Amino acid sequence: MSTLAVSPILAAPGGSFLLEARAPVEVFTPEDLNEEQRQIAATAAQFASDEILPATRAIEAKEPDAVRGLIRKLAALGFTSVEIPEQHGGMGMDKITAALITDRLSVQASFSTALGAQIGIGTLPLVWYGTQEQKSRYLPKLASGEWVGAYALSEASSGSDAMNIRASARLSQDGSHYILDGEKMWITNGGIADLFTVFAKIVETGSGPHADTGKFSAFLIERTAPGLKIGAEEHKMGIRGSSTCPLVLDHCKVPAANLLGEPGKGHHIAFNVLNIGRLKLAVACVGGARHALGHAIRYAKERVAFGKPIAEFGLIQRKISTCAARLYAAESMCYRTVGMIDAALAQLPDDHSPRETQQRIEEYAVECSILKVYGSEALSLVADELVQVMGGYGFVEEYPAERIYRDARINRIFEGTNEINRMIITGWLMKRAMNGQLPLLPAIKKLMDEVTQPPSFDSASEGGEVLAGESAILAAARKIALFAAGVASQRYMAALQDQQEVMADLADIIIEVYALESALLRARKLAASGKNLSPPVSAAASMTGLLADETISRAEQGARRILAACAEGDLLRTHLAILRRLAKFTPADTVALSRSVARHCIQLERYPL
């Protein structure tokens, strides 16, 4: 943390990327990792290849102790306790290091899901909201890997609609304990966990069997609690080696001292932990995508068809470069975001409370949702292309591609489905704009005034700077986002919330802006490092070129749909003319860019950064 206190990394306000351009020095990139962090990353990567990958068969067969055994070994390295404060047996490290460990360990999705539940959503509610007594009792056990943690929010009838849970809790007559009734569904680590963070609504004694109303609250429930029953393992499409079980709470008796946080405030616990959960999920997707892309590249080099390695075919090269570019954007966004979080945390006083930590993270809720959507979709693409590059071999169980493809699918469903996260992205930004917390409305008004004037033809004239064309596209994409948001909010005002298709199209443009800006700033920072001709610098520049091309066409396409949903006749024609002007760019030679990226990947036999 001390390195960050003097670093120029900016704790920019959440969502401000949509309004303000940043300088490369203001964002954290993986190239900024210090020596200690690099060593930790190398140790984690070594553990992944020496211990996790060889255990794949045992993990997938759910052999007793396969997952727990690995968690214990990781605990011995301190890797399960990076975010647990030192006074409770943890390492209390910065979020960048925590993300880095997750990234490098994420080569086997069943295990990374189990680990994510253990060190993320299964532990952080206690770190942030637990009393000293609760922390002293449970955190050392979770830190050492002696105990496994789980987080139980979802129910059969409420997943996305999480506020609608029906599990109930009633305080006993003598006030000594709560009695919980209901059931939880899809609980990761359910079959192996020792401690569950369970959400239920506190209701008056004597009220009906289900808690339709009541105070949404969180409870720490030990596996041995009377009345807690663990249901049978689900048979899943993917991540089959991770445990997923329902829980039955049948008059489950929980000491009153195990209420976590305040009665009626459990939704803060449930949702705030999901911000970091989404960030971690995206980081795990980055690790998984890097691993999968490595497989695809090495296979393409080895497989010969029509007398030459398939890696020499342009269409295979295009797959490799598209995957590499998306991975590059996802990776750049993840480390940029976690860098902002650490910079924000570094501003807190030494004696800050865990709650303050959580509040600083909440500032970046929109970035966390963006990462979740982009990261999970990038991994899906890479997994799909890995199968395709491997042809028939990609489709059979004998090779890892088949499992990687199945495993990738869940990431678009849990930690808030990608539909829900798209709604969060636009909804959160609009809400902040309305509250005056983010000057989005003045920016929209300024842009609307500007675009209705005759064109000044100065938008692409940022000559001289590195990647000037890509910078101009970024500036245009930002304007398109503001323009589309302006038209949509003028048309629907507060009712925009009900126009989900428009909200999602806006979210996609906003995601593209964050992705391209993160990629561009990193490429420019790399270029400024003075190693202009090295493969990473040149690959980063070419990948940014590919991303810029995707961004402008996706932004234009999404905005066209939004405009057509918001206006008709002459007004629509005027809007479309403005959009055409904003999106007018001579296309880059993406064939050349793609070949250049693929050449680096093939030469290095991996993702080039």
Ligand X SMILES: Cc1cc2nc3c(=O)[nH]c(=O)nc-3n(C[C@H](O)[C@H](O)[C@H](O)COP(=O)(O)OP(=O)(O)OC[C@H]3O[C@@H](n4cnc5c(N)ncnc54)[C@H](O)[C@@H]3O)c2cc1C
Q: Which residues pair with 309 in a beta bridge?
A: 304
Question: Is there a contact between 496 and 489 (Cβ–Cβ < 8 Å)?
Answer: yes
Q: Could you tell me the smallest distance in angstroms from the CB atom of residue 153 to ligand X?
A: 3
Stretch that binds ligand X, among 2-10, 330-338, 417-425, 551-559 (CB under 6 A): 417-425
List the one residue out of 597, 466, 489 whose CA is nearest residue 536. Answer: 597
Cβ proximity to ligand X: between 159 and 469 the closer is 159
Q: Which stretch binds ligand X (CB under 6 A): 320-328, 349-357, 408-416, 441-449?
A: 408-416
Q: How far apart are the first and last CA of the chain?
A: 24
Q: Which is nearer to ligand X, 419 or 450 (CB)?
A: 419
To the query of whether residue 605 is one of the catalytic residues in this protein, the response is no
CB atoms near residue 349 (< 10 Å): 7
Smallest gap, in angstroms, from Cβ of residue 151 to ligand X? 5
Contact present, 511 and 374 (Cβ < 8 Å):
yes
DSSP 211-230: -SSSEEEEEEEETT-TTEEE
- Taking the complex as a whole, the smallest distance from the CB of residue 152 to ligand X amounts, in Å, to 5
Min dist. Cβ of residue 502 to ligand X (A): 13
Q: Which is nearer to ligand X, 223 or 584 (CB)?
A: 223
Rounded Cα distance between 36 and 22, Å, is 27
Q: Going by C-beta distance under 8 Å and a sequence separation of 6 or more, which residues neighbour residue 24?
A: 521, 522, 524, 525, 528
From CA 128, how far away is CA 43, in angstroms rounded? 28
User: Binder to ligand X among 48, 101, 124, 153 (CB under 6 A)?
Assistant: 153
Stretch in the footprint of ligand X (CB under 6 A) among 36-44, 159-167, 391-399, 596-604: 159-167
Comparing CB distances to ligand X, the nearer of 233 and 250 is: 233
Binding mask 486-525 for ligand X (x = CB under 6 A): --------------x-------------------------
Of positions 413, 441, 475, 604, contacts ligand X by CB under 6 A: 413
Q: Is 417 in the site for ligand X (CB under 6 A)?
A: yes
Euclidean distance between CA atoms 509 and 479, whole angstroms: 10
DSSP string, 324-343: HHHHHHHHHHHHHHHHHHHH
In the shown chain, the binding pattern of residues 20 to 59 toward ligand X, with x for contact by CB under 6 A and - for none, equals ----------------------------------------
**Among 312, 356, 362, 419, which residue sits at the site for ligand X (rule: CB under 6 A)?**
419
Closest CB to ligand X among residues 189, 596: 189
Binding piece for ligand X, criterion CB under 6 A, among 41-49, 156-164, 294-302, 352-360: 156-164
Q: Which of residues 177-206 bind ligand X (CB under 6 A)?
A: 186-188
Which region among 1-9, 367-375, 407-415, 586-594 touches ligand X (by CB under 6 A)?
Answer: 407-415
| Residue 210 exposure: Cα atoms within 13 Å on the Cβ side | 7
| Nearer residue to ligand X within complex by CB, 120 or 287 | 120
Residue 151 binds ligand X, judged by CB under 6 A: yes
Nearer to ligand X, 428 or 585 (CB): 428
Angle at which helix 468-492 crosses helix 569-582, to 10 degrees, equals 160
Q: Does 538 bind ligand X (CB under 6 A)?
A: no
Residue length of the chain:
609
SS3 state at 235: coil
Cβ(243)–Cβ(196) below 8 Å = no
Tell whether residue 414 is a contact of ligand X (CB under 6 A).
yes
Q: What is the DSSP string of 410-437?
A: GGGTSSS-HHHHHHHHHHHHHHHHHHTS
Nearest CA to 322 among 382, 280, 270, 279? 382
The count of other CB atoms within 10 Å of the CB of residue 227 is 15
Q: Residue 107, Cα to own-chain centre: how many angstroms? A: 16
Where are any strands of DSSP class E within 462-508? none
Q: How far apart are CA 516 and CA 27, in angstroms?
A: 13
Residues between 65 and 124 that touch ligand X (CB under 6 A): 117
The reply to whether 219 sits near ligand X by the rule CB under 6 A is no
Residue 180 vs 546, nearer CB to ligand X: 180
Dig out the tokens for 67 from the structure.
């997952």
What is each CA distance from 61 to 8, 65, 98, 111, 203, in whole angstroms? 48, 11, 28, 12, 41
Which span sits near ligand X by CB under 6 A: 98-106, 140-148, 282-290, 413-421? 413-421
Q: Is 304 helix (H, G, I), strand (E, B) or coil?
A: strand
Nearer to ligand X, 109 or 361 (CB): 109
Determine, following the binding rule CB under 6 A, whether residue 216 of this chain makes contact with ligand X. no
Count, residues near ligand X per rule CB under 6 A: 21
Q: Which amino acid is residue 149, in one-letter code? A: G
CB closer to ligand X, 51 vs 222:
222
In a 10 Å sphere around its CB, with 0-12 CB exposed, 13-18 middle and 19+ buried, how is residue 359 labelled?
middle
Q: Considering 26, 331, 377, 415, which one is annotated as catalytic?
A: 415
What is the smallest separation between the CB atom of 58 and ligand X, expressed in angstroms? 19
Is 164 near ligand X (CB under 6 A)?
no
Residue of minimal Cβ distance to ligand X: 159
> Binding to ligand X by residue 420, rule CB under 6 A?
yes
Site string for ligand X, 231-270 (x = CB under 6 A): -----x--x----x--------------------------
- Does residue 127 interact with ligand X by CB under 6 A? no
Residues in a beta bridge with 177: 255
Interface residues with ligand X (CB under 6 A) are 117, 151-154, 159-161, 186-188, 236, 239, 244, 410, 413-414, 417, 419-420, 500
Active site residues: 415
